[in-house]
Structure 1
């Protein structure tokens, strides 16, 4: 791949992006049924939900400001009710089935299903601000610029060749290259030998990179004041609509959450058949003034998404807003 230039910033503030009509937008808010689901437990996440993942047994894992929740298809359980720090940004199930929780200001928690282990700077973690957690292909757990090999943390800095000391985001692509997002105007790739800071064709870094994924074809998608695609040689701005979170579903459609104007956030779907056209077709599934954040497609094809006040599930027809009874 010939790298030009990405910067990734994952900070807890709101950004908005103006939609300039680049895409053909379908608004389906009038045809989608919305319902509030009463649950059998008072443990429903009703605070800001930053990330949503699915465990191998099918349970939905939800990282929120008031705890990490597990949804088994019937009810919610707060897995962290006994942990003093309630604010979590991310959750990961590792290859052994253990859970890792990234907190806003209290480091990382490891949970083996029975007991917790707490990692902070006292244990070698680079920072107690843990906004993203990631397991690479060799089983290492990354928390920002800290890599945990099962025994100890190694913290990477500019002394190791990193373009930045403040890593916020990480993706390992199919070829084994590591894509890092840092606080400030830096996003860079490590191919095992060389770090390459990515910049657009105009030589400028990408601002406000909140998310990055690799699709089935090997293209890199990221949000940076709009939705971008990188094919290994060329950057294409797909949409002006904000992309706080991005996923590719089983059909090849791209889903995003993000700001669409100065007062609204939206869940949007980009049609797979038009992704490479000059004006991709985008369908706005839901729009609201409150933030829309992390996204997940579960094994049944439902789309889960977090907001500033809880969690939703979209089954293709109905949006379910989970609330306390």
Structure 2
């Protein structure tokens, strides 16, 4: 009798457990089959704004456009989608676009940095603390940002947070202040950021020359002709590029710079050890300042000027490409080389231009 009761109890328990796991398994299967709700961001539009300063191509070959107060455009070859602050961008005026090793896209603005993972935008946390402003570091996968153009020093992103770093004071600062005691802008403001083939970071400032950081030391260089034009205006360091022979070009192609080894030690800010050599020979060079530069796969140096078109140096001659929109001179901001060695121009007043092998023509969808 006791044995029968025990058997019945075991059967009942087994049945209850079987029912539980069966139901649980059905629920799990149902959850797996239920797709997650994806929020569609952005608005599909038919054309670009006339002011497109920046072009960037990501690892999936999407083309991104920015540099106005409208937001960031993404073009996948068929559709053009506009993302704005309504979609989560910290602001709609984009001043820089880059990608990390995981495929996330980052947008540099005057208000901060937005990260786009393909589904949503998030704002990066900024560490503004005097205790870390001199803790310069350089890791292979760091990203660097300006966040506007009026900050003393760049922002380094280590994958989690943005750290605001400060440039060491240089000897030109006091001279600048004495000449411009009421300047409304920061002479250390970062105009340009560039990473060379050795992983060194270069920073062009508005009025106080160039800083270089190799992960160990910060060095500095200043040549008046790189910052101030022959007409007396202040141009700032807006473009830096390394050519295939390892020379550094800065703004004006009259000279190129060979960076030399320097094993000296000092507690003060050291100057970059370099050798200045003649760059491109041309009568137009005295007033030729590049807003942006790139090197194509054949080693040609391409330079975009503000109001004097594009210039290409093949090592022996300088070729000029005037850029016109009808009878109007196109005002250039950037030149960009894509993943296929194609060349694009970002402009202030005429949308986007692309090189067709002979000239630059307006890009139309």
| TM tier, smaller | 0.5 to 0.7
* Further displaced range: 173-182 or 211-220: 173-182
Tell me which protein shows more helix as a share of its residues. Answer: 2
1:149 aligns with 2:135: no
Which position in structure 2 is the counterpart of 1:272?
258
1:278–1:161: structure 2 CA closer, same or farther, 3 Å change rule?
closer
Which position in structure 1 is the counterpart of 2:216?
233
1:89–1:163: structure 2 CA closer, same or farther, 3 Å change rule?
farther
* Further displaced range: 92-101 or 211-220: 211-220
- Give how far 1:194 is off: 6.3
Give 4+ residue runs of structure 1 displaced > 6 Å after superposition: 203-206
Q: Which has the higher contact order (CA 8 A, sep 6+)?
A: 1
In 1, Cα distance between equivalents of 2:59 and 2:48: 27
CA contact (8 A) 2:259 2:274 kept: no
- Give how far 1:118 is off: 0.8
**1:288-307 matched pairs, under 5 angstroms:** 288-289=286-287, 291-307=289-305
1:217–1:96: structure 2 CA closer, same or farther, 3 Å change rule?
same
In 2, Cα distance between equivalents of 1:94 and 1:311: 24
- Give a deviation string over 1:49-73, Cα, whole Å, max 9, x none: xxxxxxxxxxxxxxxxxxxxxxxxx
1:83 aligns with 2:47: yes
Of the three residues 134, 151, 156, the one matched with 1:189 is: 156
Query: Tell me, which stretches of 5 or more residues in structure 1 are unaligned?
Result: 1-81, 165-171, 258-265
In 2, Cα distance between equivalents of 1:268 and 1:293: 15
SS at match of 1:122: helix
1:117–1:234: structure 2 CA closer, same or farther, 3 Å change rule?
same
- In the superposition, the TM-score normalised over structure 1's length comes to 0.61
Tell which structure's C-alpha radius of gyration is larger.
Answer: 2
CA contact (8 A) 1:163 1:188 kept: no
Of the three residues 198, 203, 225, the one matched with 1:222 is: 203
Superposition RMSD in Å: 3.1
1:280–1:150: structure 2 CA closer, same or farther, 3 Å change rule?
same
- Give a deviation string over 1:28-87, Cα, whole Å, max 9, x none: xxxxxxxxxxxxxxxxxxxxxxxxxxxxxxxxxxxxxxxxxxxxxxxxxxxxxx625211
Of the three residues 108, 113, 135, the one matched with 2:99 is: 135
**1:63-82 matched pairs, under 5 angstroms:** none
1:178 aligns with 2:143: yes
- Give how far 1:88 is off: 1.1
Query: Tell me, which stretches of 5 or more residues in structure 2 are unaligned?
Result: 1-45, 130-136, 174-185, 228-236, 263-271, 325-358, 360-365
1:218–1:279: structure 2 CA closer, same or farther, 3 Å change rule?
closer
- In the superposition, the TM-score normalised over structure 2's length comes to 0.55
- Give a deviation string over 1:102-123, Cα, whole Å, max 9, x none: 1322111111112201111122
Which position in structure 1 is the counterpart of 2:71?
107
